[in-house]
Amino acid sequence: MKIINFFLINLIFVLNIAISQDGNTPTNLSIDAASVGGVQLSWDTPENYRRNWITHSNGVYFTGIGQVGGGSVFYGQKYPDSLLSEYHGMLVKEIAFVPGDTSSFQPLIFETDPNNIGEVPDWLNYTNLVLSAPLARYESGFGAWATAELKDHVPGNTLSDDIQPSSYIIDSTKNLYIGYVISDYPLYPAGCDNGPALDGLGNMVVWCNTNGCGELTLAEAAAEGTTLDYNWMIALSLINSNAPSRTFTLSYHEDISLPKNNQHPSSVSPLPNSFLMGHGPRQEIFLDINTLRNRDISNYFLFENGVVVDVVQPTYLEFNVITRESSILGPREPGTYSYFVRAQTTDGLSDSSNVVSVDLENNAPGNFFLIAPEENASISVTPSNLNNPNTFIWSNSVDTDGQELHYLFKMCKVQDSEFCFDTTMTERIYQPTNQSIIDSFSLGNGDFDMFWSVRVTDGIDTLFAGGEDDSIRYFTFSTTQLGLDPSNIPTNYSLKQNYPNPFNPSTTIEYHIAKSEFVSISIFDLAGNRIKSIFNLHVDSGLGYAKWDGKNELGQNVSGGIYLYRIDTPSFSSTRKMILLK
């Protein structure tokens, strides 16, 4: 098995290892599945970087909502002090929301004083703004979560000056509003769930004008004759929590009633007509998670027997995802393997996770059987069926390791069992024409005793079909009705399957050419790189052979696997696969 050489990456590790802080190290590494066909591992995000997402939405996208008269309004969720005590001292990191239609979205986070009943988010003057994210416009991807990294807002500065990543810590003596102001939109840009609304929590609307700002629920802001019993699809990420789950709903499934002193003020004047809310068409949309824009962990390095074998992009920032970080490695050779993970964080390379080990043994392909043609079948060739196919078929073999299987079909003359034709395929059927059998064996006039067999290989173990009782089947191939004269048999261009195949350490390649000319035969890997030029010579017409000893141009043994061999002449070119076993 060929393992990627990460020498340069490992050299960087040696030069750039930093002492990791507590909580920066991946934990609970485990092997979820393991065979020579592949190894799957998973681990927990380091404690310092785990996200807990809080939201008042149930996460089921239903419709987009907008103002009947257009204009800008703050759409948001409210987290009163009574709901924040569990999250006191946690760091706020990202905001996620669902666009319902084309719009420019300006994410904003406000902090208000619960003792000041009349204080609402002032999104015109930003007097109580604590965090913002860059203005973004979404032209497509409606009904999907968009996530943005929050930045500290400096009072008196413009939003474009907010560039420092959030350092805002939850203060459970304050109220928190999360949401966005929308602008430049034609229809219904604010994504909502299917309700019912958590009134005064998940469905807040804040409008501002020169006379001040007011706070209402979405239901109260609905246009006449419209029922809007929904919550905005908005969520907030927090880190440094002892909560067992990384993603959860703060309040939707709880029986919550707001304390009286936290209700939005009843004295607020009615929403002006230009701000009344309406909704777009209902639609059920599966929520895909967008690729996130920022990560605190740039990547994970997965080590196998002390060498990096995979570089994994983290997924812990994705909203509504509770699965662990993971990696699936490709096929392995039998043997003992040990694994650990390290995270590349802003503090440097973390310590190693716990080490897990596994012993891998190859399971041979499962038994399979020859189906047709039957034993001692007779094939009679006539001028009318010369180009008809003969169907050789066998049952499927199953590899419990999940490796790709290759079937090795072989046909020989009984009188000269060293003169054979074979080919490798992934299908369980082979259909050579009568003409191709005649050409492959240079058959003249007569009755010829033939036999055929099929083997299956996973690249490590090889198994005959039918076991000992039915591993070879015989048939008679008759050309007597054609009246063929061996001296008049046309010589065609062809490249035969190498033999033996699979092979170790050498194999023979057979070819036919119709006229005397230059012939080139070369070996390539699956990426198309030339491994070895066998020869490039002027060759007489007829049957020829070439041998390959499994070495490259430098005389070095190549690794086991699938290789390509190709013949090129001025008149003909053909390529086949072969398998080198190690």
Structure tokens belonging to residue 523: 């070996």
Same domain assignment for residues 517 and 372: no
Q: Domain for residue 331, yes or no?
A: yes
What is the extent of the structural domain holding 549? 491-582
Task: Answer for the pair 105, 138: CB distance below 8 angstroms, yes or no.
Answer: yes
Q: Domain for residue 155, yes or no?
A: yes
Taking phi first (over 0 means left), then psi (-120 to 50 degrees means alpha), and beta for anything else, what does residue 238 get? Answer: beta
Cα diameter, the chain? 110
Residues in CB range of 284: below 8 A, 6 or more apart: 61, 62
Q: What are φ and ψ of residue 218, in 5° steps?
A: -60, -40
pLDDT at 319: 63
Same domain assignment for residues 127 and 240: yes
Q: In the beta sheet, which residues pair with residue 94?
A: 149
Same domain assignment for residues 356 and 369: no
Structure tokens belonging to residue 295: 């990560």
Domain-terminating residue out of 331, 360, 389: 360
Picking from 569, 411, 416, 436, the residue whose alpha carbon sits closest to that of residue 499 is: 411
Same domain assignment for residues 544 and 506: yes
Sign of CA dihedral 89, 90, 92, 97: negative
Q: Domain for residue 347, yes or no?
A: yes
Same domain assignment for residues 330 and 246: no
pLDDT at 177: 97
At 482, which CATH number? 2.60.40.10
3-state secondary structure of 234: strand
Q: What is the DSSP string of 146-171?
A: EEEE-EEPPTTS-GGG--SBP--B--
Domain-terminating residue out of 489, 510, 528: 489
Same domain assignment for residues 141 and 41: no
Q: How far apart are CA 395 and CA 370, in angstroms?
A: 6
Same domain assignment for residues 130 and 269: yes
Q: Domain for residue 22, yes or no?
A: yes
pLDDT at 450: 94
Same domain assignment for residues 212 and 101: yes
Q: How far apart are CA 57 and CA 96, in angstroms?
A: 12
Picking from 115, 81, 71, the residue whose alpha carbon sits closest to that of residue 221 is: 71
Q: Give Cα separations from 393 to 89, 376, 387, 449 (angstroms).
A: 69, 15, 19, 19
At 566, which CATH number? 2.60.40.1930
Same domain assignment for residues 113 and 260: yes
Alpha helix stretches (DSSP H) within 442-574? none
Same domain assignment for residues 301 and 183: no
Q: How far apart are CA 507 and CA 549, in angstroms?
A: 7
Same domain assignment for residues 154 and 231: yes
- Which H or E run includes 58? none
Domain count, the chain: 4
Task: Answer for the pair 181, 123: CB distance below 8 angstroms, yes or no.
Answer: yes
Q: Domain for residue 235, yes or no?
A: yes
Task: Answer for the pair 72, 275: CB distance below 8 angstroms, yes or no.
Answer: no
pLDDT at 27: 92
> Cβ–Cβ contacts within 10 Å for residue 536, how many?
12
Residues in CB range of 244: below 8 A, 6 or more apart: none
Taking phi first (over 0 means left), then psi (-120 to 50 degrees means alpha), and beta for anything else, what does residue 324 get? Answer: beta
pTM of the complete model: 0.53
Burial track 17-41 (b if 16+ CB lie within 10 A, e otherwise): eeebeebbbbeebeeeebbbbbbeb
Q: Domain for residue 57, yes or no?
A: yes
Domain-terminating residue out of 489, 523, 543: 489
Same domain assignment for residues 212 and 133: yes
Q: Domain for residue 292, yes or no?
A: no
Q: Domain for residue 144, yes or no?
A: yes
Place of tokens 């000992």: 468
Alpha helix stretches (DSSP H) within 72-207? 81-84
Which amino acid is it at 275? F
- Which H or E run includes 82? helix 81-84
DSSP state letter for 312? E
E strands of 346-480, at which residues? 348-349, 356-360, 370-372, 377-380, 392-394, 406-413, 420-425, 429-430, 447-457, 462-464, 473-478
Q: Is the peptide bond before 373 cis (omega within 30 degrees of 0)?
A: yes
> Cβ–Cβ contacts within 10 Å for residue 565, how many?
24
| pLDDT tens by residue, the chain, 582 residues | 333 343 333 433 333 333 334 688 999 999 998 988 889 999 988 887 878 888 999 888 888 888 766 668 899 999 999 899 888 988 999 999 998 877 889 999 999 999 988 889 999 999 999 999 999 887 665 677 888 899 999 998 899 999 999 999 999 999 999 999 988 777 788 899 998 999 999 999 998 888 888 888 998 888 788 889 999 999 998 887 454 444 445 554 444 444 333 334 333 444 454 555 555 554 443 333 333 334 578 899 999 999 999 999 887 666 655 568 999 998 888 999 999 999 998 788 999 999 999 999 998 999 999 999 999 999 999 988 888 999 999 999 999 888 889 999 999 999 877 778 888 889 999 999 998 888 888 888 889 999 999 999 988 889 999 876 778 999 999 999 887 554 444 457 888 888 888 888 889 898 888 888 889 999 999 888 999 999 888 887 778 888 999 999 888 999 888 899 999 998 888 889 999 887
pLDDT at 76: 95
Place of tokens 């809007």: 228
